[in-house]
Amino acid sequence: MTIENISQAKVADGWHKQFTHESDTLNCSMRFAIFLPPNASKSSPVPVLYWLSGLTCTDENFMQKAGAFKKAAELGIAIVAPDTSPRGDDVADDDGYDLGKGAGFYLNATQQPWASHYHMYDYVTKELPKLIEATFPVNNVKSISGHSMGGHGAITIGLKNPGLYQSISAFSPISHPVSCPWGQKAFNAYLGMNREDWKQYDATELLNKAQSPLPILVDQGEADSFLAEQLKPELLVAAAEKHQSPLELRMQPGYDHSYFFISTFIDEHLTFHATHLLK
């Protein structure tokens, strides 16, 4: 697979680079970013943390705002941030910010016009890791994290693929999308009207059925304006307790939904993942 390096910058003695490539899974050109720590080499490949961003974001939001590079360099962990949806003139879109481009929800759409391109679940779990591991000095040991819509994606993908990841974390995840406006709008469009089909992409529903084999760390700001209507972390915790899943929710007083919140606690998330990626 051919990829094109479109930008790069040295940071924390490592490298942040952006690439584009033609995605067979999404049927369009995609962009992703990677941070390679200074110790990454062909003779000493490093593990990877995959970061999934939220609504309206691209690969750039986390890489430019989270302040994660210094700690990732110290720990020896690469970070990969894909875009949040397929892009292109022929890709279906919606007038709202919470559906279509920038709002892929990390699922495989089954309904048209979305099904032609919106297969972010397969892209994140299959195509992108295959490309990363074939191209860069990384190994196949990986964990997954994300924010808001991306927190939903990180938890559901980790729960559905425990053999692929070592650990899961999330900031302000959409914890029970089948019961919130963001999730209901997206799932109805992408998956159709059968709500049973929605549950396969709902972290609370997945935890209600079985214990998580992976450790999960969740940070949630108490001043988040989306907390009560859209995020509902208390439902995620209740589901985790049902089967005694290893989930820790930390409610953070005064913090909102922004990257100011993420940048405050990202080092702790990286350290959490390092204990599992580097063991």
With vertex at residue 101, the alpha carbon angle to CA 99 and CA 106, rounded to the nearest 5 degrees, is 75
257 assigned to active site = yes
Which of the following is catalytic: 224, 245, 269, 273? 224
The tokens 């479109």 sit on which residue?
6
Side chain identity at 74, as an amino acid letter?
Answer: E
Give CA–CA dist 177/170, Å, rounded.
15
Cβ proximity of 79 and 35 under 8 Å: yes
> Tokens representing 14?
């490592």
Using only the alpha carbons of the chain, give its radius of gyration. Answer: 17
212 assigned to active site = no
145 assigned to active site = no
Which of the following is catalytic: 23, 53, 148, 169? 148
> Tokens representing 115?
């099904």
* Residue (of 277, 17, 10) closest to 139 by Cα position: 277
CA–CA distance from 89 to each of 32, 116, 218 (Å)?
19, 13, 36
Cβ proximity of 54 and 151 under 8 Å: yes
* Residue (of 276, 273, 260, 279) closest to 72 by Cα position: 273
Which of the following is catalytic: 16, 147, 176, 257? 257
- Which residues have a Cβ under 8 Å from the Cβ of 213 and sit 6 or more positions away? 162
The tokens 């204990």 sit on which residue?
275
Q: Which residues are known to be catalytic?
A: 148, 224, 257
